[in-house]
């Protein structure tokens, strides 16, 4: 049985179908589910083995990109380990889903929401809550361009295990610049190897704009939690799953390198 | 009830990217220099809210602790003075007018409930700007009024602002006027048309007066406005349907003819004569539709939003995209691509030279691009094709063409409302925004237009439209409606009037949901508030539609029902406010009878002396705004979302070469490799010499673009969008007739049908000082959509490898009229490019060669001719090229190197071929003009020899790149070298 994958949508989600197709190609069974179906009880989180928070502009970026989706995750879907007053009465919570080790992937707006909910990087050195953020690109504008991502060796991230080469895929965002709360948080993230992917140039080396398309600190493109089952990144690997999507396919370059992340996640999800 | 003011500031060490962008835009207002603008968010929170709860809202919802800090002040009757802003800084605060929907505040209240703060009962948002710079109060007000505050929905204060929080019910206005047409003479009828922005001619006003005289009563304002909308140029294209007496003065002869409608005689006639079986819908629906494969169809529509964009560039372009996307939803299709073609004034105008009331072209450019970016990106539709042209003629009337492509399963689009069906409005609420859009777009601009018709500017909300789209896709698949149309120009009056045309409709206006109180019935009926669709829904299907809408958070309102009485009856609280006969509404418009004259301008035919050193010309052309890279714009549009973009707008070894057209592979399920190509063609410079040549050349270019990347010319359709001056002036209309003739001839020659079209007329501006009328250059955009049988065979324009051979396809003629060579030289001469008889065969042969995998790179020759095409191929591949102009196929009179290199003759391509395919390719092209003219070199230099064997161009590729990437878009300086 291919693992069932929940692709969560809310008002303003827009790369749900891209993510679903990537999951299907990687051997999963994706279902695009609106949050109202979880809240009404028509569907249950616990019936799925993997969760994808796709890209888009959830709630029109009201109150900041990903902010309201973050409160949905924490409260409506029970993403907090200790349910607060007023939290969801859902029997199966996002906290249990994450705790059980099932993989969660946040792409672009999904990453912004995971970060703002404090689910990424998660509690670290005794500090919790929102420890990092994603703000306006250093170029001061929306950027749609292809970037190379280097998977960092030693990271616990289950999505980026043993990749054979860099991932090449587009970014498409106005607010993707990764910033930690302070130097200590950055040091802790590095020490725990929570940086899963960094922006690099065509040779695989750290480089500035446009290779690092948004001015992210330490070229950080995506991070995971300590367990490695929650992973978020700004770029869109789901938009490079066919060879002809490669911008230089007509020049004979090999493509579809975004698929590997989904294959890893889905292979891992199969155990649950 | 307690009221708090929350201010969220960026920490001092954070870059204020919003403020920086505003500073950049402020530089286009002609104000003294502004050092910086710091932006803070304001939230006003009301309710039985404790200070502790207020802190919780700040910490969990309002403030990003990594980059921001917040402060809370409880507002009492006397305002606190607020935090000090320091010496030399001034404060502007902006909030929404009372009653305007504050979507973010609504989101805030909902999110507060989500986190368990139930005592927040009302909220409002605002923005605070701290401006550093030596601005006097009046300049500060200019900054606020032009940039920071949209007066339609917002107000500002210099210092702290206090918003009115939304309270209680939203009520309706009551006022319905009878307009005493029966007592009016001709002068009064004309004045009424002008003052109410009805844009009706005297003849049309008289027809309305006569109709009501027969009924023995005067019309209500609701009725008069409904007629004006329905009869507007925007809605019925009366110029394209008019009877025209045409005179053509050419070569000393005068020819006269009577034309029975331009649409019927030329544009649609071409489509009907061609009768292509794969055309599913042309000129009848909201969009043209062709077959994609056995089960699927693709639709394409291009609209213009010129007038709104001239007054409020962001809002105008934003809702232009939103509107054309709704056209596609209106044929029950899912949007898969957005296109945009923009025409602006050159970017280096001095403020003191701008005519009164005209925005700086830089401000128009920045606002329009930001508006397109906002809508397309947020809806998740890739913006994949377009063009940006610059000419001083677009200074007062910028052009904004917005296109949308959609895909749908065949047979699901239902188009007949039935008597008894509920009239259902879905989507946004109604406000005063966008009143009179249809009639306004049919009138001319003047210096005070912005102040006079402020409320015509519309406000977009792409997320509302995205929700609407998803609800309608489900409703379509479940067959929940009998007909659908978008609420565009004319609002409900056009949508309901059109859907009920054959049957009748009854509407109860008080049911319509409003954004804020005080709208009179005619305003509700005409409002062009965005993101609304009207559906005809069988009564038994209403509950299912309601449950879909509830789950997806889409507002749904039943506002009436379709009837069988062939009349349009509009009620407000039980009172009949409009009672119109559908037959008069749709057929009562008197046909226009217009006069048109075209005089061939005196062309200068004598060429300037030949130039021998052409390297500088190549660089000047690459820098020319119409040719130079548009990367700074393209990268702001998401062209990858939906994962279907195979040939991207920028291509080549460094992802920065100019692709001829976009290729999309839209449907994985049915045909994993079938794709579509989307392109466009326009060249208004030819139109100034001969609109006929402009039309045939635009069609040729639009076809060249899509065929160059792999589209089948036998399965390609086109769309026409005419942007013109005032058609009541015989010379403007004469040019339009001449262009329509070109459309007909070229469409038949290529066997390419038109599937949709739209015109935007009256693009003129009257300078109040001189009384001088300025018309735009007549501008015809042709958009093309073609089937690419196999995406894996798609070809890009970048050179691929050293030692490959370069061929020219097509004949180069002495056609320098309107050329960009003439533009950079500052002297125009010669005839513009004509239709090329070999064109159709060239396209067919090229397509077969591409599908056979014989072509490594292909680029069409357009602005700047072979010279620019070759340079762009070098840029794309970062490879060199050696080229011999003596071998270029050409007419016998063409011997000069500069003419061979820069003539813009139609139906020409440069193609790169691997040496092992040379023999096969040469055999394949036997019989059409075709020749090997050079080879690709590893040394990155473009080197070109003239027919006499001397070197005329020698340029390193990095210099080509540098010139082409100059993106200042300033008026080319006349060339002196």
Domain-terminating residue out of B555, B570, B589: B589
Q: How far apart are CA B649 and CA B661, in angstroms?
A: 7
Q: CA torsion, points B471, B474, B479, B483, in degrees to nearest 10? A: 30
Q: How far apart are CA B133 and CA B23, in angstroms?
A: 11
Using an 8 Å CB-CB cutoff, list chain A residues near B647.
250
Closest by Cα among B961, B973, B856, B957 to B909:
B856
Which helix H or strand E contains B309, and what residues bound it? helix B306-311
Q: What single DSSP character describes residue B627? A: T
| A133 vs B64, B640, B792: nearest CB | B64
- Inter-chain contact B791–A244, Cβ cutoff 8 Å? yes
CA angle B344, B346, B349 (to 5 degrees): 120
Domain-terminating residue out of B573, B589, B605: B589
Query: What pLDDT was estimated at residue B975?
Result: 66
Enumerate the β-bridge partners of residue B698: none
Residue B615, C-beta contacts closer than 8 angstroms, at least 6 positions apart: B952, B953, B954, B955
- B490: in domain: yes
| For residues B134-145, average pLDDT | 90
Find the range with the poorest average confidence among B153-162, B912-921, B947-956: B153-162
Q: Is the pLDDT of residue B4 over 90?
A: yes
Q: How far apart are CA B385 and CA B401, in angstroms?
A: 11
Cβ contact B328:B407 at 8 Å:
no
- Inter-chain contact B115–A137, Cβ cutoff 8 Å? no
Find the range with the poorest average confidence among B208-222, B354-368, B552-566: B354-368
Q: Which domain holds residue A39?
A: 4-269
User: SS3 breakdown of chain A: % helix, strand, coil, rounded to 5?
Assistant: 30, 25, 50
- Inter-chain contact A59–B463, Cβ cutoff 8 Å? yes
Q: Which chain B residue is nearest to residue A25, measuring alpha carbons? A: B668
Residue B811, C-beta contacts closer than 8 angstroms, at least 6 positions apart: B836, B838, B889, B890, B891, B905, B907, B908, B929
Using the Cβ of B65 and the Cβ atoms of chain A, whether some distance falls under 8 Å is answered with: yes
- B874: in domain: yes
- B974: in domain: yes
Using the Cβ of B56 and the Cβ atoms of chain A, whether some distance falls under 8 Å is answered with: no
Q: How far apart are CA B631 and CA B967, in angstroms?
A: 8
| A68 vs B107, B467, B551: nearest CB | B107
- B611: in domain: no
Over the stretch B223-276, which tens digit does the pLDDT of each residue have?
A: 999 999 999 888 888 999 999 999 999 988 999 999 999 999 999 999 999 999
| For residues B427-448, average pLDDT | 68
Q: Are strands B764-766 and B445-446 parallel, antiparallel or unpaired?
A: parallel
Domain count, chain B: 3
Enumerate the β-bridge partners of residue B187: none
Q: Which chain A residue is nearest to residue B667, measuring alpha carbons? A: A21
CATH number at residue A106: 3.40.50.880
Using the Cβ of B386 and the Cβ atoms of chain A, whether some distance falls under 8 Å is answered with: no
- Inter-chain contact A75–B653, Cβ cutoff 8 Å? no
Supply the angle between the helices B221-230 and B491-499 in degrees, to the nearest 10: 70
Say how many residues make up chain B: 977
Question: What are the DSSP calls for B814-826, one per residue?
Answer: S--TT-HHHHHHT
Q: How far apart are CA A22 and CA A238, in angstroms?
A: 5
Query: What pLDDT was estimated at residue B145?
Result: 86
CA distance B850 to chain A (A): 12
- Inter-chain contact A85–B116, Cβ cutoff 8 Å? yes
Residue B454 pLDDT class (50, 70, 90 cuts): very low
* Mean confidence (pLDDT) of chain A: 94
Domain-terminating residue out of B157, B191, B214: B157
Residue B175 pLDDT class (50, 70, 90 cuts): confident
Over the stretch B606-655, which tens digit does the pLDDT of each residue have?
A: 999 998 899 999 999 999 999 999 999 999 999 999 999 999 999 999 99
Q: What single DSSP character describes residue A4? A: E
Domain count, chain A: 1
Catalytic residues of B: 234, 305
Q: What single DSSP character describes residue A73? A: I
| For residues B52-58, average pLDDT | 96
CATH number at residue B891: 3.90.650.10
- B639: in domain: no
CATH number at residue B13: 3.30.1280.10
Higher pLDDT, A92 or B337: B337
Q: Which chain B residue is nearest to residue A68, measuring alpha carbons? A: B111
Find the range with the poorest average confidence among A230-239, B649-658, B761-770: B761-770
Q: Is the pLDDT of residue B976 over 70?
A: no
CA angle A262, A265, A270 (to 5 degrees): 120
Q: Is the pLDDT of residue B410 over 70?
A: yes
- B748: in domain: no
Using an 8 Å CB-CB cutoff, list chain A residues near B118.
86
Q: Which chain A residue is nearest to residue B857, measuring alpha carbons? A: A250
- Inter-chain contact B643–A241, Cβ cutoff 8 Å? yes
Using the Cβ of B447 and the Cβ atoms of chain A, whether some distance falls under 8 Å is answered with: no
- Residues A260-269, buried b or exposed e (16+ Cβ, 10 A)? bbbbbbbbbb
Query: What pLDDT was estimated at residue A188?
Result: 97
Using an 8 Å CB-CB cutoff, list chain B residues near A131.
66
Percent of chain B with pLDDT over 70: 95
Query: What pLDDT was estimated at residue B178?
Result: 92
| B552 vs A34, A75, A181: nearest CB | A34
Enumerate the β-bridge partners of residue B131: B37, B90
Most A-contacting residue of B17, B337, B546, B708 (CB-CB within 10 A), to test interface: B17
Using the Cβ of B9 and the Cβ atoms of chain A, whether some distance falls under 8 Å is answered with: no
| B463 vs A12, A21, A129: nearest CB | A12
Q: Is the pLDDT of residue B671 over 90?
A: no
| For residues A9-26, average pLDDT | 97
Query: What pLDDT was estimated at residue B508?
Result: 96
Q: Is the pLDDT of residue B483 over 60?
A: yes
Task: Tell me the backbone φ, ψ of residue B274, rounded to 5 degrees.
Answer: -70, -35
Q: Given the structure tokens 């309002």, which residue do they identify?
A: B62
Residue B306, C-beta contacts closer than 8 angstroms, at least 6 positions apart: B316, B397, B398, B399, B400, B441, B723, B760, B763
User: How many H-runs (helices) and E-runs (strands) does chain A carry?
Assistant: 7, 11
CA distance B379 to chain A (A): 7
Q: Which domain holds residue B24?
A: 2-157
* Mean confidence (pLDDT) of chain B: 92
Residue B841 pLDDT class (50, 70, 90 cuts): very high
The interface predicted TM-score of the complex, written ipTM, equals: 0.96
Q: Which chain B residue is nearest to residue A85, measuring alpha carbons? A: B116
Using an 8 Å CB-CB cutoff, list chain A residues near B643.
18, 21-22, 238-239, 241-242, 245
Cβ contact B396:B310 at 8 Å:
yes
Q: Judge residue A167's burial from the number of C-beta atoms within 10 Å of its C-beta, 0-12 exposed, 13-18 middle, 19 or more buried.
A: buried
- Inter-chain contact B635–A11, Cβ cutoff 8 Å? no
Using the Cβ of B115 and the Cβ atoms of chain A, whether some distance falls under 8 Å is answered with: yes
Residue B448 pLDDT class (50, 70, 90 cuts): low
Question: What are the DSSP calls for B785-821, one per residue?
Answer: EEEES-GGG---SS---TT-EEEEES-B-S--TT-HH
| For residues B407-411, average pLDDT | 94
């Amino acid at each position: 049985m291919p693992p069932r994958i929940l692709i969560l949508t809310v008002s303003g989600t827009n790369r749900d179908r891209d993510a679903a197709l990537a999951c299907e190609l990687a051997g999963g069974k994706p279902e695009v589910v609106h949050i109202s179906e979880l809240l009404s009880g028509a569907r249950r989180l616990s019936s799925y083995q993997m969760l994808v928070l796709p890209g888009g502009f959830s709630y029109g970026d009201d109150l900041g990109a990903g902010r309201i989706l973050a409160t949905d995750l924490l409260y409506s879907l029970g993403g907090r380990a200790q349910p607060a007053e007023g939290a969801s009465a859902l029997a199966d919570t996002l906290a249990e889903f994450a705790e059980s080790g099932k993989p969660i992937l946040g792409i672009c707006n999904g990453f912004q929401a995971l970060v703002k909910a404090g689910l990424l990087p998660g509690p670290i050195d005794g500090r919790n809550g929102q420890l990092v953020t994603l703000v306006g690109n250093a170029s001061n504008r929306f950027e749609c361009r292809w970037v190379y991502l280097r998977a960092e060796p030693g990271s616990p991230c289950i999505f980026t295990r043993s990749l054979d080469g860099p991932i090449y895929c587009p970014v498409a965002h106005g607010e993707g610049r990764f910033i930690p709360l302070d130097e200590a948080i950055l040091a802790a993230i590095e020490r725990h190897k929570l940086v899963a992917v960094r922006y690099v140039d065509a040779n695989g080396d750290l480089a500035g704009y446009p290779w690092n398309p948004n001015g992210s600190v330490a070229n950080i493109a995506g991070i995971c939690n300590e367990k490695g089952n929650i992973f978020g990144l700004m770029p869109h690997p789901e938009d490079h799953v066919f060879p002809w999507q490669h911008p230089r396919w007509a020049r004979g370059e090999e493509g579809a390198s975004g698929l590997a992340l989904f294959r890893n996640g889905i292979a891992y999800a199969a155990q649950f | 009830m307690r009221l708090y003011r929350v201010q969220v500031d960026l920490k001092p060490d954070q870059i204020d990217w919003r403020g920086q962008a505003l500073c950049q835009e402020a530089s286009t207002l002609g104000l003294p220099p502004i050092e910086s603008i710091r932006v803070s968010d304001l939230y006003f929170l009301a309710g039985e809210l404790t200070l502790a709860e207020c802190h919780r809202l700040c910490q969990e919802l309002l403030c990003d602790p990594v980059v921001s800090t917040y402060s809370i002040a409880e507002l009492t009757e006397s305002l606190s003075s607020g935090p000090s802003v320091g010496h030399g800084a001034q404060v502007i605060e902006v909030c929404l007018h009372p009653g305007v929907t504050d979507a973010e505040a609504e989101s805030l209240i909902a999110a507060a409930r989500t986190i368990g703060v139930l005592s927040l009962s009302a909220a409002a948002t605002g923005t605070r700007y701290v401006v550093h710079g030596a601005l006097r109060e009046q300049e500060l007000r200019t900054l606020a009024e032009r940039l920071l505050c949209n007066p339609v929905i917002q107000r500002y204060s210099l210092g702290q602002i206090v918003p009115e929080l939304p309270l209680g019910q939203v009520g309706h206005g009551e006022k319905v006027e009878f307009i005493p047409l029966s007592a009016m003479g001709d002068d009064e009828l004309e004045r009424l048309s002008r003052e109410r922005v009805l844009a009706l001619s005297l003849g049309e006003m008289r027809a309305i007066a006569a109709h009501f005289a027969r009924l023995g009563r005067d019309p209500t304002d609701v009725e008069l406005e409904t007629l004006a909308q329905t009869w507007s140029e925007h809605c019925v294209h009366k110029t394209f349907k008019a009877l025209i007496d045409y005179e053509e003065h050419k070569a000393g002869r005068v020819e006269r003819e009577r034309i029975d409608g331009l649409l019927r005689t030329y544009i649609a006639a071409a489509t009907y004569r061609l009768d292509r079986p794969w055309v599913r819908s042309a000129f009848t629906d909201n969009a043209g539709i062709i077959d994609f494969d056995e089960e699927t169809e693709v639709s394409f529509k291009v609209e213009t939003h010129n007038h709104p964009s001239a007054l409020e560039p962001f809002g105008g372009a934003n809702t232009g995209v939103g509107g054309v996307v709704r056209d596609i939803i209106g044929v029950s299709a899912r949007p898969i691509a957005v296109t945009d073609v923009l025409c602006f004034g050159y970017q280096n105008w001095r403020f003191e030279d701008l005519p009164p009331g005209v925005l700086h072209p830089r401000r128009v450019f920045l606002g329009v691009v930001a508006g397109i970016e906002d809508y397309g990106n947020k809806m998740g539709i890739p913006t994949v094709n377009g063009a940006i042209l610059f000419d001083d003629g677009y200074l007062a009337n910028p052009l904004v063409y917005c296109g949308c492509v959609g895909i749908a399963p065949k047979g699901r689009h239902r188009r007949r409302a039935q008597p008894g069906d509920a009239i259902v409005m879905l989507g946004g609420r109604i406000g005063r925004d966008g009143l009179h859009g249809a009639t306004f777009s049919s009138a001319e601009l003047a210096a005070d237009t912005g102040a006079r018709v402020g409320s015509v500017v519309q406000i977009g909300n792409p997320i509302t439209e995205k929700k609407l789209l998803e609800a309608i896709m489900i409703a379509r698949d479940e067959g929940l409606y009998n007909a659908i149309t978008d609420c565009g120009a004319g609002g409900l009056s056009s949508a309901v009037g059109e859907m009920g045309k054959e049957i009748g409709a009854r509407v109860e206006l008080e049911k319509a949901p409003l954004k804020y109180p005080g709208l009179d019935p005619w305003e509700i009926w005409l409002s062009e508030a965005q993101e609304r669709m009207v559906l005809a829904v069988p009564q038994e299907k209403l509950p299912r539609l309601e449950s879909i809408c509830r789950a997806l958070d889409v507002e749904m309102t039943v506002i009436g029902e379709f009837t069988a009485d062939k009349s349009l009856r509009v009620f407000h609280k039980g009172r009949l406010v409009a009672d119109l006969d559908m037959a008069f509404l749709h057929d009562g418009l008197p046909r226009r009878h217009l006069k048109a004259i075209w005089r061939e301008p005196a062309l200068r035919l004598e060429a300037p002396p030949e130039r021998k050193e052409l390297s500088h010309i190549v660089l000047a052309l690459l820098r020319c705004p119409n040719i130079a890279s548009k990367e700074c714009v393209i990268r702001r549009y998401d062209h990858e979302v939906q994962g279907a973009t195979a040939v991207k707008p920028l291509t080549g070894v460094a992802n920065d070469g100019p692709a001829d057209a976009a290729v999309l592979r839209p449907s994985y399920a049915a045909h994993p490799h079938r794709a579509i190509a989307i392109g466009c063609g326009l060249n208004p410079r030819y139109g100034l010499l001969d609109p006929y040549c402009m039309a045939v050349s635009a069609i040729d270019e639009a076809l060249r673009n899509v065929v160059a990347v792999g589209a089948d010319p036998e399965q390609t359709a086109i769309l026409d969008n005419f942007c013109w001056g005032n058609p009541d002036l015989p010379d403007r209309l004469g040019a339009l007739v001449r262009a329509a003739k070109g459309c007909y001839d070229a469409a038949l020659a290529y066997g390419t049908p038109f599937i949709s079209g739209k015109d935007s007329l009256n693009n003129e501006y009257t300078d109040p000082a001189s009384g001088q009328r300025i018309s735009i250059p007549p501008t015809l955009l042709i958009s093309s959509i073609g089937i690419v049988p196999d995406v894996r065979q798609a070809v890009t324009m970048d050179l691929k490898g050293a030692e490959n051979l370069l061929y020219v396809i097509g004949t180069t003629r002495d056609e320098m009229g309107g050329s960009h060579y003439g533009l950079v030289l500052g002297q125009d001469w010669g005839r513009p490019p004509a239709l090329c008889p070999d064109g159709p065969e060239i396209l067919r042969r090229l397509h077969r060669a591409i599908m056979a995998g014989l072509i490594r790179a292909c680029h069409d020759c357009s602005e700047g001719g072979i010279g620019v095409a070759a340079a762009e191929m070098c840029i794309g591949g970062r490879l060199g090229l050696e080229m011999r102009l003596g071998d270029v196929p050409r007419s016998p009179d063409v011997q000069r190197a500069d003419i061979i290199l820069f003539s813009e003759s139609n139906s020409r391509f440069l193609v790169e071929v691997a040496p092992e395919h040379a023999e096969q390719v040469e055999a394949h092209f036997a019989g059409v003009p075709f020749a090997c003219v050079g080879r690709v070199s590893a040394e990155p230099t473009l080197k070109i020899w003239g027919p006499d064997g001397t070197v005329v161009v020698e340029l390193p590729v990095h210099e080509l790149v540098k010139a082409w990437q100059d993106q200042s878009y300033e008026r080319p300086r006349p060339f002196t070298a």
